[in-house]
Structure 1
Amino acid sequence: MYLTQSLHRAVRQSPDVPFTVYNGRTHTATETYDAVSRLAGGLTGLGVRGDDRVGLLSLNTDRFCQIALATAWADAVVVPLNTRWSVTEHAYALDDADVRVLFVDDAFLPMVAELRARTPGLRTIVHCGDAPTPEGLLPLARLLAAEPVEDAHRQGDAMAGIFYTGGTTGLPKGVMLGHRQLYITALGTLLHTELPRGGTSVLAAPAFHLAGFAFWIVGMLADMTTTPVAVFDPVGILRTIQDQRAKQTLLVPAMIQAIVGHPDADAYDLSSLEVLAYGASPISETLLTRARAAFRSARFLQVYGMTELSPSTTLLLDADHDDPVLRRSVGRAAPYAQVKIVDEKDTEVPPGTIGEITAAGEHVMLGYWKRPAETAEAVRDGWMHTGDVGYMDERGYVYVVDRLKDMIVSGGENVYSTEVENVVAKHPAVVQVAVIGLPDERWGERVHAVVTLVPDATLTLEELQDFCRKEIAGYKCPRSLERVDQFPMSGAGKILKRELRTSTRSGTGGTQD
């Protein structure tokens, strides 16, 4: 299996069916095939050869899809860049991956001059937006005018892409994924779940992030028309689902929170949506309940994993969501995965025992780009060590308790931030919450809650502690509280806890008790 295979099938079986619909533009399978083969010809003309890396700095658009396919078609490796990164972070990844050709859309034109200065290895920057092409950049139309070339049919363990991690714990690492890894997860997910066939799939999660990229692949395999959404906006997503009669979408919890909390959410017809997949970060039971009420016709699918697992390793099916215990889990191992919980000596622990979640299978990454030592540390005897703390029950359901680095040791007791977050999120005044550990002279670390509140709501530390004590032990309750207007977020929709810790310790956070 390989990235361009779905396009080949589509052009033979449904040549006139829309392959992508974006911003008033519709490209059929035949039109997409022509564009991709010409873009690949253009890349070849720029000197791109087998295994070369091609950078892609773009919002979710039809051109993102075409360029990613064309890169594989030209026997090269796509390097999607995080659209929320700074110039410094982009320059690091471009230099690290030795990218010589970079595509940029309109949103990132202001970065181009500095990117050139910081990344001398860049030979060519191609403008793939709708605005006039600035001087010194190559217009996409030039590549589209090239003679089409034959597909290289790059496949198997040949790299499809280098996907950089968010860099929330230091310099980003490039995760090498092959065509086999990406398609094993896509096929396994499609066959094991009740995902629809045909119709429209809304690409709402950022496509540079593997959750969005992989969901796009699933949609192509299911013969669906992809409708990318460039910038997340609750009303924009609601309108797209309604107007396109979309059958499926993937959202991260922060997106779901914004959608179900929007005052006009009930005004849109969402009855066409058959599947709402979610993942990338934990979701509270309170938010999940609200989401199922808002998307009444949709079956819910939780996907758990990480970029290094292409990206999923467990699936929580819709029926599991009806069980009040199981819906707190992340599901069971997908058909292509093995999952086990291990102790610090990598010995598997009995059911119900907390340890590190590990996974094995053909979906495990090829490795970290240029980081053999870190690859060897992460993948031991074929098992990817996720860094997540959790346990497995007798039926194989996995429960994520925390990240290893986010576990708080307060007064000699282990406190898992996710457990506290799930309780705090139930408070009616709380919109969103993150729990971190802060240094404390008495306790070693103290449990610190950072929250955003509903409009005009108030919440004191004492009120929150009283609320939490009804469900968790006193030592787990927050010992300090901070209110902020918004959280620092990664492009994947994850709260950047490292930035919260830094801002809190430096006194630049919000109101504190």
Structure 2
Amino acid sequence: MANNFADLFEHAVDAMPDRIAIIQRDRRVTFRELDIRANRLANQLADTGVGHGTHVGFQLHNSIETMETLIACFKLAAVPININYRYGPTELAYVYDNADLEVLLYHACYEESVRAALALVPTVRRSICVDDDRDIGTPDTGAILYEPLVAAGKPFRPNITRTADDLFMMYTGGTTGMPKGVMWRQEDMWRVLGGGIDFYSGEPVRDEYQQSATGAQGVPSIWFVLPPLIHAAAMMPTFNALWSGNTVLFEPRFDPARIWQAVATHHPHIMVITGDAMARPLMDAFDAEPVDASSLLVIASGAALLSQPVKNALLETFPTSMVSDSIGSSETGFGGIGFAQKDDDPARGPRVQTGRGAVVVDENGRPVTPGEEGWLAKTGAVPLGYYKDPDRSARLFKTVDGTRIVVTDDRARAESDGTITLIGRGNMVINTGGEKVFPEEVEAVVKSHPAIYDAVVIGVPHERWGQQVAAIISIAPDHTLDLDTLHTHLRPHLAGYKLPKQIWITDTISRSPSGKPDYRWAKEFVTDHSPHHQTD
């Protein structure tokens, strides 16, 4: 049993070659066509020295070509490295260098930033420019054009020895610090996020052929994956769908109006989103111009906060759809899944059924008793560590009582019914007068106010208390907000020391492509601007 990403894909191709694998607007490719195109690219890359362990960057938004690139890399036992296409040249250069990229593939619309970054990192020996829906590749970087390269490649599967130990690496978003590469064995990532263990029952599949064999016997569903493939919250659902013989629907970028047009046209069954950052604008666009969305059976959110008012709105607007809310990270993979209920307490963090080794532990890495708080941890299939960061790896990835475990920075509470409630990220905790405040809890309550469209909460320095809770908010369209009365709304759900003492207003909250808050941006914003409201 290889349990390798490329093997799992090829099993699906062999079992269902003529099924539609990917839909991107008016383009459709079958499993066989996707396989052949990936083979052509893989053989071309192999001719230039790409092979086992070669780091290949992909600075690509969602597209068929992005999946061809990922599959080609896995066919060669190379390591695709996700590059955040919103980064500027300096940030890009850091990741190119830190990840030891040898080859880079990028969409033509990122040409300017790629050119500036490559000038700072001469060790990237080859770049390949991919046409997109906005730009045709006319590179000034000396890059090779993708389409002629693929067209000239051999269509046969490369003869490469692949194993379950081949490396999968995912760079973190870098919203609280510098991006870090989290290293996984491919089999372990398959087990936690790729369907190698059933999400709901927790039962492992019997072998590497079960997903494709089961898929071949059933009717395929369409999965509309909205987050960017540079994030595991999109890449792994996409592979899970393909390995199971389902169809994946892509839009090149997050455009809510176009997304609903695609829903009306293609009738997807599952929509994958990341929290409020996607759900709120999707709801706004749907309210402005409703479409037939009756095909949607599941709206699956993960990787970012899905607040209670938004859950309420989704359940009211799509009463026949199930709304799921999952927790996880690059370091843990899948941590658990919950299902939205209307009118839950907005101050309560996500509560999930524990999944595949998720546990709450104390400072020594041992499970806490029900009702106690601790650190969210994961046993079983866990990462190998951080790339080129042995010190941080040693702090998070441990062996406790003979069991390998990753202890995250996330605070959580073990509930008496066996569930876990996520409280917040420990590395973002606000210490105000000795009391600890988790930004996510405050953000959820602030965003429950009908006039507030989005919010991010941070700690700001305070001479007496050390830190104070502060919020940056954006106002919902056609709403006004009396900041003096905001605390009246918040106080029933938050203790006094948790209430934001300083408030800034901005048109847009900066977030990562996956929808996570950009706390680095938030700290810079409050440094550069005076608050609109301040209390003691």
Instruction: Identify if the C-alpha distance between structure 1 residues 459 and 351 changes in structure 2 by more than 3 Å, giving closer, same or farther.
Output: same
Equivalent residue runs for 1:58-457 within 5 Å: 58-130=60-132, 131-134=136-139, 136-140=142-146, 141-147=148-154, 148-152=156-160, 154-160=162-168, 162-185=169-192, 186-188=194-196, 190-192=198-200, 198-253=220-275, 254-262=277-285, 264=287, 267-309=290-332, 311-316=333-338, 318=339, 321=341, 324=344, 328-334=349-355, 337-362=356-381, 364-381=382-399, 382-457=404-479
The secondary structure found in structure 2 opposite 1:118 is: coil
CA distance in 2, matches of 1:404, 1:75: 36
**Of the candidates 6, 17, 36, which is equivalent to residue 19 of structure 2?**
17
The secondary structure found in structure 2 opposite 1:421 is: helix
CA distance in 2, matches of 1:107, 1:294: 36
1:339–1:358 contact (8 Å) kept in structure 2: yes
Structure 1 position 218, deviation (Å): 1.5
Instruction: Identify if the C-alpha distance between structure 1 residues 330 and 62 changes in structure 2 by more than 3 Å, giving closer, same or farther.
Output: farther
2:22–2:30 contact (8 Å) kept in structure 1: yes
One-letter code aligned to 2:328: G
The secondary structure found in structure 2 opposite 1:187 is: coil
CA distance in 1, matches of 2:54, 2:457: 42
CA distance in 1, matches of 2:177, 2:26: 40
Instruction: Identify if the C-alpha distance between structure 1 residues 87 and 189 changes in structure 2 by more than 3 Å, giving closer, same or farther.
Output: farther
2:130–2:137 contact (8 Å) kept in structure 1: no
1:500–1:509 contact (8 Å) kept in structure 2: no
One-letter code aligned to 2:354: A
The secondary structure found in structure 2 opposite 1:69 is: helix
One-letter code aligned to 1:43: L
Moved more, 401-410 or 258-267: 258-267
Instruction: Identify if the C-alpha distance between structure 1 residues 101 and 507 changes in structure 2 by more than 3 Å, giving closer, same or farther.
Output: closer
1:437–1:446 contact (8 Å) kept in structure 2: yes
CA distance in 2, matches of 1:509, 1:277: 38
1:274–1:298 contact (8 Å) kept in structure 2: yes
Instruction: Identify if the C-alpha distance between structure 1 residues 155 and 192 changes in structure 2 by more than 3 Å, giving closer, same or farther.
Output: farther
Equivalent residue runs for 1:21-36 within 5 Å: 21-36=23-38
Structure 1 position 177, deviation (Å): 2.1
One-letter code aligned to 2:139: P
CA distance in 2, matches of 1:57, 1:456: 37
Structure 1 position 111, deviation (Å): 2.4
Structure 1 position 184, deviation (Å): 0.4
Structure 1 position 385, deviation (Å): 1.4
TM-score, normalization by structure 2: 0.89
Instruction: Identify if the C-alpha distance between structure 1 residues 266 and 143 changes in structure 2 by more than 3 Å, giving closer, same or farther.
Output: closer
One-letter code aligned to 1:168: T
1:503–1:509 contact (8 Å) kept in structure 2: no
CA distance in 2, matches of 1:468, 1:265: 29
Equivalent pairs: percent with the same residue? Answer: 28
CA distance in 1, matches of 2:221, 2:496: 51
The secondary structure found in structure 1 opposite 2:5 is: coil
The secondary structure found in structure 2 opposite 1:267 is: coil
Structure 1 position 297, deviation (Å): 2.5
Are 1:488 and 2:496 an aligned pair? no
CA distance in 2, matches of 1:233, 1:193: 35
The secondary structure found in structure 2 opposite 1:478 is: coil
Instruction: Identify if the C-alpha distance between structure 1 residues 90 and 197 changes in structure 2 by more than 3 Å, giving closer, same or farther.
Output: farther
CA distance in 2, matches of 1:86, 1:509: 26
Moved more, 40-49 or 177-186: 177-186
TM-score, normalization by structure 1: 0.92
CA distance in 2, matches of 1:284, 1:25: 35
Structure 1 position 97, deviation (Å): 2.1
Equivalent residue runs for 1:497-512 within 5 Å: 497-504=519-526, 506-508=527-529, 511-512=532-533
2:63–2:250 contact (8 Å) kept in structure 1: yes
Q: For structure 2, which runs of at least 5 residues remain unmatched after alignment? A: 203-214
1:488–1:495 contact (8 Å) kept in structure 2: yes
Structure 1 position 116, deviation (Å): 2.6
Structure 1 position 462, deviation (Å): 2.3
Q: Deviations over 1:179-206 (max 9, x none)?
A: 1122102215655279996121112101
Q: Deviations over 1:93-113 (max 9, x none)?
A: 222222111111122112232
How many residues are treated as equivalent by the alignment? 505
2:108–2:139 contact (8 Å) kept in structure 1: no
CA distance in 2, matches of 1:8, 1:263: 38
1:461–1:480 contact (8 Å) kept in structure 2: no
Instruction: Identify if the C-alpha distance between structure 1 residues 12 and 3 changes in structure 2 by more than 3 Å, giving closer, same or farther.
Output: same
2:40–2:152 contact (8 Å) kept in structure 1: yes
**Correspondence for 2:207:** none
Instruction: Identify if the C-alpha distance between structure 1 residues 442 and 112 changes in structure 2 by more than 3 Å, giving closer, same or farther.
Output: closer
Moved more, 258-267 or 281-290: 258-267
Q: Which runs of 4+ in 1 moved over 3 A?
A: 188-191, 193-197, 263-266, 320-330, 509-513
CA distance in 2, matches of 1:405, 1:328: 17
The secondary structure found in structure 1 opposite 2:81 is: strand
Q: Deviations over 1:452-502 (max 9, x none)?
A: 111243323320112212233222222222211111111221111232123
The secondary structure found in structure 2 opposite 1:12 is: helix
CA distance in 1, matches of 2:531, 2:24: 39
One-letter code aligned to 1:169: T
**Correspondence for 2:211:** none
